[in-house]
Structure 1
Amino acid sequence: MEKESLEQRSLRQFDTLVERGNLLWRTTTPQLIHASPFNFQFRSANSLTAKPILSSTDPGRSKPTNAFSDTDPGFHLSYIGPSHTLILNKYCVVRPQFLLHTNTFVPQADHLTEADLGAAWNVLSSLGKGYFVIYNCGFEGGSSVGHKHLQILPLPPKEEFRFFPDILGITLESPTSPRIPFRHAVKALPSSPSSFQLIEIYSSLVEQSGVNEVAGHNFLMTEDWMLVIPRRKGRKGILSANAAAMAGMVWVTSEVEVRQWVEHGPMKLLCEFGVLV
């Protein structure tokens, strides 16, 4: 009998958890909002209303306890090296949605390490080109809890939505796109990079984008590129933005939030959440 791939096993476990009511997810239809220099895709997910979101001063953001230690065994997928564990995300927007957490408590406000990036690439390369990784660093970066974790999600079909590095392209001469109004840095990745290469690229993007001048930042990575975006704040009223939102993929809890995003102007909001060029 042919061995299940990571993707096949995750989908099987995902569907079982949904049937049992242990994993919160339902099919959603994305809405495309046209903007310049890139479009926005909105998904409304009721599961996010149940998701715990700690305030910036909550002790859980610094208290050394494992936020994922009581996870139902049905959520567990695999240990990734000695330092990380891959599980299914309970509060899902898409199918499947993974969570890669450190085995011991590390603050979500810390920058990524070589071990983090190596573990993330391990998962990404196991799943293939149809996935991407995000990291929401700190409260201002849109993180919900204080225990360090990355998320891995399926990319949407290209005819539905593409992130701006794929639309606007990546040049070797500059780490930024002149059309993006908020600070960022992006770089194309070599084929099968080592964890050392990944941390070198991440560190250079952190420096080039000015992350150390602000409290938080976002990280996105596909098999083709890495993107870093410094953040000024995580929320405005009921609206919030994580790493995916800063690149145009916005998750909301209701149509009310979609209307507010559109009324404020989605690109204007990203400039408020991020740092103006």
Structure 2
Amino acid sequence: MAEMGRPVAPPNLPALVKAAFDKARVSGDITYYPTQVAVLTPGSIAFQLRYAPSLALKPKAPKPKEPNGKPFNPFENPSPAMLVAELPPSHRLVLNKFAIVPEHFILVTREFKPQTHVLEKDDIDATFACIQAYRGVGQDLFAFFNSGPHSGASQPHRHLQLLPVASMRTGLEDVDRGSQWNVLADTLTGSSKTLPFNVFTRSIRPDMSAEERHSAYLELYRHAVKAVYPDIEAHDEGEAQISYNFAMTGSTMALCPRTAEGVMLKNKSGEDIGQVSLNGTVLAGTALVKNQAEWDALREDPDVLLHVLGGISVSP
């Protein structure tokens, strides 16, 4: 039986998300960007690289404002077309308006809370409830959180992003080495895998209490703060002291301290060809590029990816 006041996700959540996504795609309420995909295997990792040329054409319109002059907040009063479900008492689920992965949806706080603050127990609990709803029908969900200027964060209203793992595999069945890709975070706990960026991991179990899961997140956050600022004591609430990405699956939590959002790629002549920026999907082992030169450079020499990954965090 659920504890009083704890968020409970609808057991048919995967079907709700699919129905909402399909309907919003047909009506034009969301934009789905098709991608080409490759799997790169530099070092000991299998990394999924996606190329979305249409993203480069996305118009950079000025950010809309409310009538009172405040920046528009898409999470404050989502339209019915974007709403997937309410998760009382503290959260709701909405579709991602610009989707690279089918059925990409977002967990947002019903009241405005800052994206730059340390996550609270209810944030972790509501996220895990969604993961469990997917597991209940034999599916996996990858959740990630971007916090701070170097993390890939774009909205100030607190939100975690949720990607069905089956959707993340779209196109991989036709790709060389496609079967080698698995969610990176799940391969890290207890492994000797060496990564070019710093990441802290912790195994989690379905029978953990909400307090235990939140404590596990805080423990990872404290390790990450110490990695960036060895002499600073981490705070368990309020404004985060570092930029970071956090990820959660049914069995793993992972947290990566971030010191840069991306790295400039150069061609063999040493000329700049584009900035590769990464967000929390790096903890799934995925990256996205928007132009042909970046796509070609990374596929021609997968070790260039190690250079990109090594530039986003403190050394492990």
Same fold per superposition (TM over 0.5):
yes
Deviation of 1:32 after TM superposition, in Å, equals 0.9
Match of 1:162 among 175, 182, 190: 182
Name 2:219's counterpart in structure 1.
204
Q: How does 1:186-197 map to 2 (within 5 A)?
A: 186-197=201-212
CA RMSD of aligned residues (A): 2.9
Name 1:86's counterpart in structure 2.
93
Q: Deviations over 1:150-190 (max 9, x none)?
A: 000011458251133434x522xxxx846223221111111
Bigger Rg, structure 1 or 2:
2
Q: How does 1:88-237 map to 2 (within 5 A)?
A: 88-128=95-135, 129-155=139-165, 156-157=168-169, 159=179, 161-167=181-187, 169-171=188-190, 177=192, 179-209=194-224, 210=226, 213=229, 215-237=242-264
Contact 1:34 1:40 in 2 (8 A): yes
Q: Deviations over 1:200-251 (max 9, x none)?
A: 1011111223366363011111101100110001133532100112542112
Aligned residues, how many? 263
- Residue 136 of structure 1 aligns to which amino acid in structure 2? N
Specify whether residues 204 and 52 from structure 1 end up closer, same or farther in structure 2 by C-alpha distance, changes over 3 A only. Answer: farther
Deviation of 1:259 after TM superposition, in Å, equals 3.4
Q: Deviations over 1:50-69 (max 9, x none)?
A: 497999xxxxxxx8974422
The normalised TM-score by structure 2 is 0.74
Specify whether residues 247 and 125 from structure 1 end up closer, same or farther in structure 2 by C-alpha distance, changes over 3 A only. Answer: closer
Deviates more, 1:64-73 or 1:236-245: 64-73
Q: How does 1:256-271 map to 2 (within 5 A)?
A: 256-261=293-298, 265-271=304-310
Distance in 1 of aligned mates of 2:155 and 2:251: 28
- Residue 71 of structure 1 aligns to which amino acid in structure 2? P
Secondary structure in structure 1 of the residue aligned to 2:100: coil
- Residue 154 of structure 2 aligns to which amino acid in structure 1? S
Q: Deviations over 1:4-32 (max 9, x none)?
A: 82111211121111112221114434211
Contact 2:262 2:311 in 1 (8 A): no
Contact 1:64 1:105 in 2 (8 A): no
Specify whether residues 49 and 201 from structure 1 end up closer, same or farther in structure 2 by C-alpha distance, changes over 3 A only. Answer: farther
Deviation of 1:110 after TM superposition, in Å, equals 1.5
5+ unaligned residues in a row in structure 2: which ranges? 1-9, 64-69, 170-177, 230-240, 265-274
Specify whether residues 81 and 160 from structure 1 end up closer, same or farther in structure 2 by C-alpha distance, changes over 3 A only. Answer: farther
Specify whether residues 70 and 165 from structure 1 end up closer, same or farther in structure 2 by C-alpha distance, changes over 3 A only. Answer: closer
- Residue 16 of structure 1 aligns to which amino acid in structure 2? K
Name 2:267's counterpart in structure 1.
none
Deviates more, 1:16-25 or 1:231-240: 231-240
Deviation of 1:104 after TM superposition, in Å, equals 2.1
Match of 1:18 among 3, 20, 25: 25
Secondary structure in structure 2 of the residue aligned to 1:7: helix
Distance in 1 of aligned mates of 2:62 and 2:150: 12
Distance in 1 of aligned mates of 2:227 and 2:304: 25
The normalised TM-score by structure 1 is 0.83
Distance in 2 of aligned mates of 1:68 and 1:268: 35
Distance in 2 of aligned mates of 1:123 and 1:165: 18
Distance in 2 of aligned mates of 1:256 and 1:17: 32
Specify whether residues 115 and 276 from structure 1 end up closer, same or farther in structure 2 by C-alpha distance, changes over 3 A only. Answer: same
Deviation of 1:48 after TM superposition, in Å, equals 7.5
Secondary structure in structure 2 of the residue aligned to 1:266: helix
- Residue 149 of structure 1 aligns to which amino acid in structure 2? H
Name 1:58's counterpart in structure 2.
none
- Residue 75 of structure 1 aligns to which amino acid in structure 2? M
Distance in 2 of aligned mates of 1:90 and 1:147: 15
Specify whether residues 200 and 256 from structure 1 end up closer, same or farther in structure 2 by C-alpha distance, changes over 3 A only. Answer: same
Secondary structure in structure 1 of the residue aligned to 2:39: strand
